[in-house]
A and B are shown apart, each in its own frame.
Chain A
Amino acid sequence: MSSNENLGADGAAPYRLPTGGRIDRNTTLRFAFGGRTLTGHPGDTLASALLAHGVHRTGTSIKLGRPRGIAAAWAEDPNSLVQVEEPFPEPMLLATTIELTDGLAAHGIPGQGRLADVPDSARYDARHVHADLLVVGAGPTGLVAALTAARAGARVVLIDEQSEAGGALLGTDDSIDGGPALDWVRRVTAELAEFPEVLHLQRTTAFGHFDDGFVLAVERRTDHLGAAAPRNVSRQRVWRVRARRVLVAAGAHERPVVFSDNDRPGVMLAGGARTFLHRYGVLAGRAAVVFTTDDSAYAAAVDLSDAGVEVRAIVDARPEAPGEWLSACASRRIPVRTGQVVTGTDGVERVTAALVAPLDAAVSGEPERVDCDLLLVSGGWNPAVHLFSQAGGTLRYNAALGAFVPNGALDRTTAAGAAAGVFDLAGCLADGRRAAAAVFDDLGVTVAGEESRVTADDGPARTPSAVLWRVPDTGTTDRSTQFVDLQRDATVADIARAVDAGMRTVEHIKRYTTIGTAHDQGKTSGVIASGITAELLGRPIDDLGTTTFRPPYTPVAFAALAGRNRGSLFDPERTTAVHAWHLARGAVWEDVGQWKRPRYYPQPGEDMETAVLRECAAVRGGVGILDGSTLGKIDVQGPDAAAFLDLLYTNMMSSLKVGSIRYGVMCRTDGMVLDDGTVLRLGQDRFLVYTTTGGAAGVLEWMEDWLQTEWPHLRVHVTSVTEQWATFPVVGPRSRDVVAAVTGLDTSKEAFPFMTWQDTRISNRSGHDASTPRFARRGRPAPDQDVRVRVARVSFSGELAFEVNVDAWHAPAVWERLVAAGEPYGITPYGTETMHVLRAEKAYPIIGQDTDGTVTPQDLGMSWVVSKKKPDFLGRRSFARDHNNRPDRKHLVGLLPVDRTVVLAEGSQIVEGPTLPEPPVPMLGHVTSSYRSAELDRSFALALVKGGRTRIGQTVHVPVAGELVPVEITEPVLVDPEGARRDG
């Protein structure tokens, strides 16, 4: 039978029933699948609409290229992976879970799809919600539990992944309270909607269950609207639910039985076919064979028969049929074959026959062909324990069910209903109520009043199921067509190979065979794989257990997980007060942690190298200005502030005079450099500590750690003022003139010595150059009032320099005034790259670039910064360790390539000779900083070299583009070693 058969020219759907189901037949949706234009109705899934046209085959298997078709009605389907093209390309969605929309275009894929090659313009977002009780699943169990909890006044979140509530009831014709079950569902959801503290979300999949009642769920908010989705509504939303108690009422997945050629289109789970009938009004075929080990497939057979399907046989592996169903079958002329199994199938694009044989000790003899276009299978049900298990819940094997069920409850989490192995409706209703009541006992809340009992007619009593993982081998069985994981094309032969190779645990077999690792994460294959492995090993399945259930329950798009945290919102961007000026000036940015810093300011035609050479020359020859606002600043106050800093820094800070500045180094207790910077003494009890840009947060935490844990007796408080102060180094021989012009301070050598600071106030009315700030922040007043400015004479370049500090509010105006005052001297704004070159020429280390956590102040050649007088400070004891005094420690030295034009790559290893010896090659150290110097008119580098200070003047080698080039080891300070410029 071809899938095209019966398709009328008008696109009529011949397998659609005239009535029934939860679809809107008054509205017709057109969609494209694999190039064909078909029709469906609101309420359809892509799968139900395809089946209505008789289309079973959706694709081709990933490894073997075998035809595959729709095998279930929801997320447990291993087969119906499609690529959606319209309304927006998205790979690897299941036809069974795609709600049909007008204009949908999709096609089947062999396992993998393709990502869109255009940006996804949809919005994704996230919300947090807190609950007393989270109920996962709005089937009968979950609805009863949620209602019980809501009536007791609890804050309830009810989450369900389908388009409407009801769960399994959507696929049956069950009754509750003497009426259609879905009427009861409607009454319950209507009542839940009345409770302000109840959040009820449909189309929302709880996909991960983590610690302490934390559950992630993804809500598909607009997918069902297709191209009509409003642009201002997020397409998908991640709910971050934190619940005091979690009830997993996620239902159960029907389990197939494995037999030969069990993968043909038209082979379907019995419950799936029943759902297609009741929910979508679609017949999955005309002539069916039902193969079962369980009663539930009888309901499917009877319902399908009543709807017009010719059920040619129920093949029941059990020796006796359930007596309660026999009369129903007889009256419909459904033959019941007990003690028989389906051993195989015929057909290519679609199953055409089931091969049926008696199940004896071994299956033997020639099987009988029973022609059919639909082969329904049921091997029982697996509780959907995923969310229970993800949270750490253990499982136990229930031999009567042939399934793994939750083994008791967790602290915060219980499973109930089918998810706990309760498979009858009346039992589920009772279990939901029991579970909700137990939660309230647990939370110490008394449930007021007697809940009205819900009753259900659950049909005939159940006959025990048989447990059959796969049909036993016949003499001619080909295990390589007995599919266990259809998505992975993994078969019984693969499991047998794994067992033969010595695998003894299901985790090993999973990884060897890949069973359970595909898109569906083994929803239909996992437990079967355990069962078949147990058989092959001759061990009980209880011993083997299942593989680990891990999030996500079903696949979640990365876009949804990312939410709004994309692009510029991925990580906070920190900008300085003069960011707009840099932007207007065409700065090229460097990301320094979260900060945006100008790296250099190219002029037309300049690349980085020429721009930086120009900026360097301008600073050393005239004057430059840098935005150093990102430097960390910590206000340290209290009577014991000086004593505290003496313990923290390697050098003495208590002897610093008010008005003076000292450079300091902090070490960890192991003596390795942690951070460095300048310290301003603002008063007897107050210091302003400057840290590196990247070290600011860590240093603050470091200070708090010692103050709180070891030195609580010190009366000191610390707080970050990084954002409050903007810092503008004005650097170069003409900096004195610029700073004097703007601040009115006497910046002469005598009046303003190196390593001192002064406060002053400046005003627009003071007669200084007062250009209007063009880049003042919106809404900010022009600086027509007094502005407090602190000027610190420090230098990170070796040049005469003044750092102008001003509050962030007035910073743009002050920056502009400095730039304007510098115009006569050709003031040049410079960025981090030039800053790095200038400081490297002076061998001022960058913590984290020239150091790496294994470098002491002595290694940096900075023994002078380590106090000999202080009795103790952090790191002091370590400096006396033998290890810290080895002659072969790496020292910071300069490197001058013999070829002045060669710039070494930072990170390069340093070796001895011009040719490499046999490995292992002794490594002498590595290049930490490397630049081209305008001042020296040549390249240079800093490096950490073993015993470097004893090797000054020697030649070593560094690989450059595959060649070993000679470099000379030098003193690290290459420009103005006497410090005449800085001190001038």
Chain B
Amino acid sequence: MQLIECPYCGPREEVEFHYGGQAHVSYPEDPASLSDEKWAEYLFVRDNTRGPFAERWVHALGCRRWFNAIRDTATYRFHRVYRLDEQKPAMS
């Protein structure tokens, strides 16, 4: 069982966290102006990266706060975590 570093609580066991999919996929400014295709892209299309990947996580059974993480999808290792108000770090 991995330890995940919650930016607010520190390292906690992974069962306390829920996964939220790819990070930095913003809700469109004006959904009504999007074509069906563009809207479907927002809804359904995500990267399927092998290697470092920016993801959303929530400390669901802890502080209930969302944060982002760079995690390697091949090794499962978390490279770093960052708050929502922090810049996306370099992917490594």
Contact = CB atoms under 8 A, between A and B. Distances in A.
A156 B36 CA distance: 60
B32 A877 contact: yes
A877 B1 contact: no
Interface of B: 1-3, 18, 20, 26-27, 31-32, 34, 36, 39-40, 42-44, 56, 58, 60, 64-66, 76, 84
Contact of B36 (A211, A705, A709, A882): A882
Contacts of A709: 56, 66, 84
A396 interface: no
Interface string A187-220: 0000000000000000000000011101000000
Contacts of A670: 43-44
A157 to B, nearest CB: 17
A764 interface: no
B66 A704 contact: yes
Given A210-B1, A705-B20, A881 B66 contact: no
A177 interface: no
State the 10 A-B residue pairs at the shortest beta-carbon distance, nearest first: A877-B31, A211-B2, A212-B3, A708-B66, A710-B27, A670-B43, A214-B1, A881-B36, A877-B39, A212-B2
A866 to B, nearest CB: 14
Contact of A872 (B26, B32, B39, B44): B32
B31 to A, nearest CB: 4
A376 to B, nearest CB: 43
A571 to B, nearest CB: 14
Given A211-B1, A212-B2, A701-B18, 15 more contacts: A212-B3, A669-B27, A669-B43, A701-B64, A704-B65, A708-B65, A708-B66, A709-B66, A710-B27, A871-B32, A876-B32, A877-B32, A880-B32, A881-B36, A882-B36
Nearest to A700: B64
A421 B65 CA distance: 47
Contacts of A565: none
Contact of A705 (B34, B43, B66): B66
Interface string A670-698: 10000000000000000000000000000
Contacts of A881: 36, 39-40
Contacts of B65: 704, 708
A882 B3 CA distance: 44
A876 B18 CA distance: 26
B34 to A, nearest CB: 7
B2 A878 contact: no
Contacts of A210: 1
Nearest to A214: B1
A214 B32 CA distance: 49
Given A210-B1, A211-B2, A709-B66, A701 B39 contact: no
A556 B40 CA distance: 49
A454 to B, nearest CB: 35
B56 A877 contact: no
Nearest to A647: B27
Interface in A695-720: 701, 704-705, 708-710, 712
Nearest to A882: B36
A35 B58 CA distance: 60
Nearest to B4: A212
B6 to A, nearest CB: 14
A471 to B, nearest CB: 43
Interface string A861-900: 0000000000110001110111000000000000000000
Nearest to A709: B66
Contacts of A214: 1
A741 to B, nearest CB: 42
Contact of B84 (A242, A708, A876, A878): A708
B34 A701 contact: no
Contacts of A212: 1-3
Contacts of B31: 872, 876-877
Contacts of B56: 709
Given A701-B60, A708-B65, A211 B39 contact: no
Contacts of A704: 58, 64-66
Of residues B3, B34, B56, which shows the largest number of chain A Cβ atoms within 10 Å of its Cβ? B3
Contacts of A242: 3
Nearest to A706: B27
A716 to B, nearest CB: 14
Contacts of A882: 36
Contacts of B26: 710
Of residues A214, A872, A876, A877, which shows the largest number of chain B Cβ atoms within 10 Å of its Cβ? A877
Nearest to A708: B66
A705 B60 CA distance: 10
A447 B39 CA distance: 61
B2 A701 contact: no
Contacts of A876: 31-32
A708 B64 CA distance: 10
Given A701-B18, A709-B84, A877 B66 contact: no
7 contacts: A669-B43, A705-B58, A709-B66, A709-B84, A877-B39, A878-B43, A881-B40
